[in-house]
Structure 1
């Protein structure tokens, strides 16, 4: 008999949750751009994840979730590595990229993480990657080259490199997690919370060591911080874990396909960030490639993500 907690979602429930998560994370690219207008990137990232980690842990406890601190302490190397790459490096770099460029471009380049995971899985975990997924990765590469070409014309290559590096470090974090799972299962919700706290501590240290101007505590910045430690962290992660535990992996990944698209659209509407022709073509190719990967996963995976 199916456990009620893990029962499959009704179609309207799945649609509502995917739409909500995509909108929350998609709009957060706009909020991050608003935040770095009044705060240096590392200080904002440090505040975001320190507050977010605390609120996320409190949320999980209120939900009756066990944070498994003893088990996490035994696997501290994994927790530290994932926190370093997936939170500290990835979001430190992407916040830096947003502060020096557009939110839409940062969003789409950050989501090349899915292709880094594919490459690293094949290279380091010796996983077999279907030809159609390599084709999607090739399409994404063409899109990246279009954006790099456009960036070379406008002097944005450093900013583009930051965003790509952020996606790469996220991919490394995923590979560390996947490899660790081979040596024993780990509670993904507990791992998420603890690695986020580790990443927050690292970001706080960087923010204290790197010379940066003081934060300007404007109403817009306060709203952006509250959004990041509120809807964009505990609410979004609760929705995400609900989706991956109660939907096929490919269907749950629809939110990953929609988030960068919404990031581009919403940053254009609110911030007036309109990409040029070549850059726009590159973004479109990457979005098509991400969508292709999601459709392949949805068709080929009846399993649920852990």
Structure 2
């Protein structure tokens, strides 16, 4: 893949975490309060079922349990932990806590994918962490133990999902929409009974609530995850994980535009550092990103 195609793939993939960065704003301003399970389920399940209805293809053989694992890590557990963090922490602080994800990918990638850890990767991780801290930490930033723990566990869940998605690839003959639909449906189905047992449903929904749920399901899940899994299939795991830093940048920009939050020179410098770290982590040259393509799985009945 040449440099221009790498840049295009990276830019399209970065749209997904940029959309996810709006989750904090949508959650606090449009959704019913204190409903992380409901928000997670409504975000995942309708989008997954729509894709399954379009593709009409179910997993086979080993891919039943692989789809379950990926659906829980990439969707079910991650969505729930993300919304818990969003409800308990300011958007920027939640994004900062979850910015440890590329560092986890760096470790897991070296262990499971045999990716070589280069000094530039370590430097990019440190630069990104410092940049995010400069971007989102304010004197009045609130820290909540539950939110911080949820953010860390969410980062661990997503990092594990990224690495296993790269390790397993997609089954032969299965398209991107099908692969995305499996995971969104699994994640939603895992969350559904927990939601019904663990949370009271709202007495009523406003049009703002409905609009927020529709945005999260259609834009934040269906479209964003198709772009994300497309990028994961074409970029190295670490390069893709660094694109998730578009999330705190987007959260900060939306806070400035819609929540009357300020953007001081230090924050702008932090955003520049984050962008620099993302650029450092992207692959170079004409070599196919990620080395050899993922091994294809023979589908069995």
Normalization by structure 1: what TM-score? Answer: 0.73
Paired residue for 1:113? 101
1:292 is matched with which residue: 256, 269, 277? 277
2:43 is equivalent to residue 48 of structure 1: yes
- Matches of 2:83 and 2:221 in 1, distance apart? 16
Q: Does 1:31 align with 2:26?
A: yes
Q: Which has the higher helix share?
A: 1
Equivalent-residue separation in structure 2 for 1:158 and 1:277 (angstroms): 31
Contact between 2:232 and 2:240, CA under 8 Å: does it hold in 1? Answer: yes
Q: Which residue of 2 aligns with 1:303?
A: 288
Contact preservation (8 Å) 1:79, 1:194: yes
Partners of 1:15 and 1:120 in 2: how far apart? 21
| Residues 30 and 267, structure 1, Cα contact 8 Å, conserved in 2 | yes
SS for the counterpart of 1:299 is: coil
Backbone CA RMSD of aligned residues: 4.3
The Cα of 1:99 is off from its aligned counterpart by 1.1
Instruction: Work out the CA distance in 2 between the residues paired with 1:145 and 1:257.
Output: 12
Task: Give the match for residue 81 of structure 2.
Answer: 93
Q: Does 1:136 align with 2:124?
A: yes
Q: Are the equivalent residues in 1 in contact too, given 2:89–2:142 (CA < 8 A)?
A: no
In structure 2, distance between residues paired with 1:127 and 1:54: 35
1:237-287 Cα deviation digits (max 9, x unpaired): 445566677899999889644343112210232234569999x69x938x7
Would the alpha carbon gap of residues 188 and 157 (structure 1) be closer, same or farther in structure 2, given more than 3 Å must change? Answer: farther
Which is worse superposed, 85-94 or 189-198?
A: 189-198
1:99-248 matches, within 5 Å, as: 99-140=87-128, 154-181=142-169, 187=174, 189=176, 190-212=178-200, 214=202, 216-240=204-228
| TM-score, reference length from structure 2 | 0.74
Go from structure 1 to structure 2 and tell me whether the alpha carbon gap of 1:35 and 1:15 turns closer, same or farther (over 3 Å shift): same
Deviations for 1:182-212, whole angstroms, at most 9, x for unmatched residues? 9x76847233220211111111122122244
220-229 or 204-213: which moved more?
Answer: 204-213
Give the SS at the match of 2:82: helix
Counterpart Cα distance in 2 of 1:147 and 1:19: 18
Deviation of 1:162 (Å): 1.4
Do structure 1's residue 69 and structure 2's residue 58 form an aligned pair?
yes
- The 5-angstrom pairing of residues 6-17 of structure 1 reads none
How far is 1:69 from its partner?
Answer: 1.9
Alpha-carbon displacement from aligned partner over 1:19-55 (angstroms, at most 9, x marks no partner): 8656644434422333444451111111111112123
Equivalenced residue count is 287
Change (3 A) 1:143 1:18: closer
**1:43/1:265 Cα in 2 relative to 1: closer, same or farther (>3 Å)?**
same
